[in-house]
Chains A and B, each alone.
Chain A
Amino acid sequence: KQEVTQIPAALSVPEGENLVLNCSFTDSAIYNLQWFRQDPGKGLTSLLLIQSSQREQTSGRLNASLDKSSGRSTLYIAASQPGDSATYLCAHGSGNTGKLIFGQGTTLQVKP
């Protein structure tokens, strides 16, 4: 069974810290890996998409890396802000249908 694990489940940091969220997966033949942000009671906002042939993607203060051989991805958030407080989900594409396998998420709280 394909599984995606995110550690830690929750994280609280002071404003300004750099932080890393972890995502591990069991399927070595993933098509891509996507990071999402979800605010309470809201939908999912796509943050970064890494294709299986890529090693990393960057958007502003966010940098996501992918290591297929070890089954890991990380999301690096630089200079965290209270507005970054949300749940972060990683998911990988399964097969050529595009369906996503999700982790349970990491809930981040950035304190002012």
Chain B
Amino acid sequence: DAGITQSPRYKITETGRQVTLMCHQTWSHSYMFWYRQDLGHGLRLIYYSAAADITDKGEVSDGYVVSRSKTENFPLTLESATRSQTSVYFCASSPGQGFSEQFFGPGTRLTVL
């Protein structure tokens, strides 16, 4: 039972490059989320998805793009990476709406040089 996995776990890239972070969950949860964690800011929501082909912006969505063609996958793409996007990125999933427990992946540590 893999649960929720993220890849890669570590990534170093350069400014201006496109980067895609992968998230896969095996529970068939409807809801999926992307957060970033930064010192001084805590965890902030980037994007979320209520179902396949339904996505919406969170608090800090500028510079990011998501897609969800399949229920189990929710990739996050940085279209043109900037140093300010250096962060730890967490994917999460939840079986239902606002009343449901949310489960987190192990995170991807991204460094933009």
Contacts and interface: CB of A to CB of B under 8 A. Distances in A.
Interface of A: 31-32, 34, 36, 42-46, 49, 51-52, 89, 91, 93-100, 102-105
12 contacts: A31-B98, A45-B104, A46-B101, A96-B97, A97-B31, A97-B56, A98-B33, A98-B48, A98-B98, A99-B33, A100-B35, A105-B42
B97 A43 contact: no
Nearest to B104: A44
A89 B107 CA distance: 16
B102 interface: yes
Interface of B: 31, 33, 35, 42-45, 48, 50, 56, 58, 90, 92, 94, 96-107
B101 A95 contact: no
Nearest to A103: B42
B90 A98 contact: no
B97 A91 contact: no
A104 B97 contact: no
A43 B48 contact: no
Nearest to B43: A102
Q: Name the 3 nearest CB pairs between A and B, nearest first.
A: A31-B98, A44-B104, A102-B43
A44 B94 contact: no
B58 A102 contact: no
A43 B89 CA distance: 10
Contact of B101 (A49, A89, A102, A105): A49
